[in-house]
Chains A and B, each alone.
Chain A
């Protein structure tokens, strides 16, 4: 067995194990850390396939940026694990049953015939072949149209996020100069007409009022 094959099985085993732990870990922080491990091993497998650009992008984008964000969110939100996990054991048998049936059925239809290793084209690269350069060339020439579409989708995601979460604060103390200048006397000043002469309080009146009560 080649050393590369050994590495592949090592990476694959760790990947599957950590992916399982992502789902089963009790502590969400642990789950995120296991997800980081899973991504790292996936990037290792890509590296074995000579897809170095994808491997490095996965580490930089997912491990470096996305997972750190995830970690922040998980730590900032105080998620009640027990309530999230409630019913897990009740649903597990049914979920497992449905999943197994699906996998078995799909495997029965497709089997190993079509997607086994020797059915796939040989992608062994010659020396000096740059995966990154090839990807870049394709992305900005032949695939420029889908690439631009993907960027429009991201723009929509930004707009949607702003629409759905941005709230105008009601307690900000900003001056509205236009309103201040446009104000009229009637807005600020209320003139109340009151009797200019007030009747002096008399003793007899107060006494009769007491008596009425």
Chain B
């Protein structure tokens, strides 16, 4: 009976296998040396991610390869997104080391849970089956719940973790329910086979597929954090230790994007017109609520949380403009490219913005209020400039990477005759620019409240500067990343 079983090809999944074994190795290193040599686990984690990056580049073939009974897909999009994920996680580890150390939270488990979460993201990015998508989501979410609660003494963090856990479980339930409907209608968990079954238009299953699609979109909305599934974002971003917030706000966005592409574009492309309408509603309400609510915030973390909601809405606008009414899907590739570019630009700026909070924080002091940024220019002109770059990029001011991301999405909207939506998005981007510029004003024109010099390690200064310069330089040469995104998607979808 076992004779017809063929050993799967392990090569495409080499980065995942390596990361898992190295993480387990680091677990033991932490057990033996962790208490005495605190620097070991973060260093080894960074090394593990760099090894994964090396292997990912080396195993990239270009054409999609399926393995493990067609449950795992290795294509250019997944390789590209995985590389970006490694970069983001390495930056998170370097940014957060000093912050966690000052609070006595730099236990080995902090880095280990991040590595497991990274593994979960990689599984999501490379998933070609509903089952693996779900398992990846769970692996990522479970690690994130624990990370949020890692500061056990803080009631705020515990409350945030509890909220995150309950809402995340609800979201997983919705996602799973939608998946079960898809399975019921098509008889397969395989995304490729679902797409095939959906295109055959057997009338009976049409309703069931559509019914499942609603739940899928709701689940995706939760994971991305868009209105009306955004409730957890502000509380979790504010309550979690800032280093964890930095993590949640950066790398998982790549995985969520990949999941959206896999589920909606690979699996349910036949129903694009239906999910586009749903995404459009989510996007428009996110942009409106996110930008308006962010104005009222005095807490910088909460403000960035609302800005995250509006940015994810903006990204959905691009996904919602791929297929024209009547089924013409010629603009699809350009639309998904601009969405991907938007995610890259957002994560870069988001890493830097939360990095600034970590830069200004020290033992016993959390620089999470807007007033803590007062007079940063007098304390450190260089990092004030970096913060200015991040804020300008987030606001979409010309010649920073965020501007070109917004520009790509808006030109996509205009090209697909969503002009009214484009105008709406521009107006709310202008409203949003207010609160980003307020940060710049506070940094440059207000008197500093404390004059203590910034005391962070050289590694963090270096990476934060590189991050800021990347946001500025990619804004000057946007075409390179854009064509990379386009190439990756062209060879994958």
Query: Digit string of A32-43 for contact with B (CB within 8 Å is 1, else 0)?
Result: 000000000000
Partner of A163, one of B2, B135, B150: B150
B113-A159 in contact (CB<8A): yes
Q: A133, A143, A162, A164 — which one has the most chain B CB atoms within 10 A of its CB?
A: A164
Q: Flag if B109 contacts A162 (CB, 8 Å).
A: yes
Q: Which of B5, B145, B204 contacts A114 (CB 8 A)?
A: B204
* B469 sits at the interface (CB 8 A): no
Do B142 and A160 touch (CB < 8 A)?
Answer: yes
A159 pairs with B69, CB closer than 8 A: no
Contact of B69 among A115, A133, A142, A152 (CB under 8 A): A142
A145 to B129: give the CA distance in the assembly, Å.
11
**B463 within 8 Å of A by Cβ?**
no
Please determine whether B184 and A114 come into contact, CB atoms closer than 8 angstroms: yes
Interface residues in B133-149 by Cβ distance below 8 A to A read 135-136, 138-139, 142-143, 145-146, 149
Contacts of B20 in A (CB 8 A): 152
CA distance A150 to B145 in the complex (A): 17
Q: A146-B135, A152-B119 are in contact. Are A160 and B113 (CB under 8 A)?
A: yes
Q: Which of A115, A133, A153 contacts B139 (CB 8 A)?
A: A153
Docked-complex contact A159 and B109, CB < 8 angstroms: yes
State whether the Cβ of A141 lies closer than 8 Å to any Cβ in chain B: yes
- Asked if residues B146 and A163 are in contact (CB atoms below 8 Å), the reply is yes
- Least CB distance, A190 to chain B, in whole angstroms: 30
A109 engages B71 (CB within 8 Å): no
Nearest chain B CB to A169 CB, angstrom units: 15
Is B184 a contact partner of A137 (Cβ separation < 8 A)? no
> What residues of chain B lie closer than 8 Å to A159, measured between beta carbons?
27, 109, 112-113, 116, 146
Number of A-B contacts (CB under 8 A): 81
A:187-205 near B, CB below 8 Å: none
Q: Is A157 an interface residue (CB 8 A)?
A: yes
Decide if A81 is an interface residue (CB 8 Å cutoff): no
A152 to B142, CA, bound (A): 11
Q: Within the complex, what minimum Cβ distance (angstroms) separates B358 from chain A?
A: 21
**Considering the complex, which residues of chain B in the window 144-160 have a beta carbon less than 8 Å from any beta carbon of chain A?**
145-146, 149-150, 152
A113 CB-CB contact with B under 8 Å: yes
Asked whether any CB of chain B lies closer than 8 Å to the CB of A156, the reply is yes
Interface size class of A (residues with CB under 8 A): 20 to 34
A141 and B2 contact, CB distance less than 8 A: yes
Q: A109-B207, A145-B72 are in contact. Are A150 and B135 (CB under 8 A)?
A: yes
Assembled-state Cα–Cα distance A110/B132 (Å):
27
The answer to whether the Cβ of B474 comes within 8 Å of any Cβ in the partner chain is no
**B462 interface residue per 8 A CB criterion:** no
Question: Are the CB atoms of A114 and B207 closer together than 8 Å?
Answer: yes
Q: Does B484 contact A (CB under 8 A)?
A: no
| Chain B residues, CB < 8 A from A152 | 20, 116, 119, 139
Do A115 and B132 touch (CB < 8 A)? no
A171-B226 Cα distance, complex, nearest whole Å: 48
B139 / chain A contacts, CB cutoff of 8 Å = 149, 152-153, 156
Cα-based distance from A4 to B80 in the complex (angstroms): 55
Q: Does the CB pair A145–B68 fall under 8 Å?
A: yes
List A residues 108-145 near B (Cβ within 8 Å): 109-110, 113-115, 133, 137, 141-145
Any chain A CB within 8 A of the CB of B487?
A: no
Supposing A110-B208, A160-B146, A164-B149 touch, asked if A149 and B123 sit within 8 A by C-beta, the answer is yes
Which residues of chain A have C-beta atoms less than 8 A from B452's C-beta?
Answer: none
| A163-199 Cβ-contact flags toward B at 8 Å (1 or 0) | 1100000000000000000000000000000000000
List residues of chain B with CB within 8 A of the CB of A137.
1-2
* A residues in contact with B1, CB < 8 Å: 133, 137
Whether the pair B185, A114 counts as a contact (CB closer than 8 A) is: yes
Residue B131 is within 8 A (CB to CB) of chain A in the complex: yes
Contacts of B152 in A (CB 8 A): 164
A109 contact set on B, CB distance < 8 A:
207, 211
Flag whether B299 is at the interface (Cβ < 8 A). no
Interface bits B71-113 vs A (CB < 8 Å: 1, else 0): 1100000000000000000000000000000000001010011
Chain A residues near B71 (CB-CB < 8 A)? 145-146
Chain A proximity mask over B114-136: 1 for CB below 8 Å, otherwise 0: 00100100010000010110011
User: Which residue in chain A gives the minimum CB-CB distance to B185?
Assistant: A114
* Complex: A163 Cα to B113 Cα, angstroms: 10
**B411 located at the interface, meaning its Cβ lies under 8 Å from any Cβ of chain A in the complex:** no
0/1 per residue, B313-345, Cβ < 8 Å to A? 000000000000000000000000000000000
Asked whether any CB of chain A lies closer than 8 Å to the CB of B205, the reply is yes
For the complex formed, measure the closest distance between the CB of A154 and the CB atoms of chain B, giving whole angstroms. 10
Determine the chain A residues whose CB is within 8 A of the CB of B107 once the complex forms: 163
* Residues of chain B lying within 8 A (CB to CB) of residue A155: 116
Please tell me if the beta carbons of B109 and A153 are within 8 angstroms of each other in the complex.
no
A63 to B269, CA, bound (A): 44
CA distance A69 to B186 in the complex (A): 39
**Across the interface, which residues of B come within 8 angstroms of A142, CB to CB?**
5, 69
Contacting residues of chain A (26-82) with chain B, CB-CB under 8 angstroms: none
With a CB–CB cut-off of 8 A, which chain A residues contact B116?
152, 155-156, 159
B208 touches A153 (CB 8 A): no
Least distance between B379 CB and chain A CB atoms (Å): 35
Assembled-state Cα–Cα distance A106/B1 (Å): 42
Beta-carbon contact of B69 and A143 below 8 Å? yes
Nearest CB of A to B310, in Å: 29
Report the bound CA distance from A146 to B131 in whole Å: 7
Task: Contact check, A163 vs B68: say whether CB atoms are below 8 A apart.
Answer: no
In whole angstroms, what is the CA distance A157 to B150 when docked? 13
| Complex interface: chain B residues within 8 A of A115 (CB) | 184
14 residue pairs from A and B, CB less than 8 Å apart = A109-B207, A110-B207, A113-B204, A114-B184, A114-B185, A114-B205, A114-B207, A144-B68, A145-B68, A157-B142, A159-B109, A163-B109, A163-B113, A164-B150
| Apart from A137-B2, A156-B146, A164-B152: 19 A-B pairs, beta carbons within 8 A | A114-B204, A114-B207, A115-B184, A141-B5, A144-B68, A145-B71, A146-B71, A146-B131, A149-B123, A149-B132, A152-B116, A152-B119, A155-B116, A156-B113, A156-B116, A157-B142, A160-B113, A160-B143, A164-B150
What are the 6 closest A-B residue pairs judged by CB atoms, nearest first? A160-B146, A145-B68, A149-B135, A142-B69, A163-B109, A141-B5
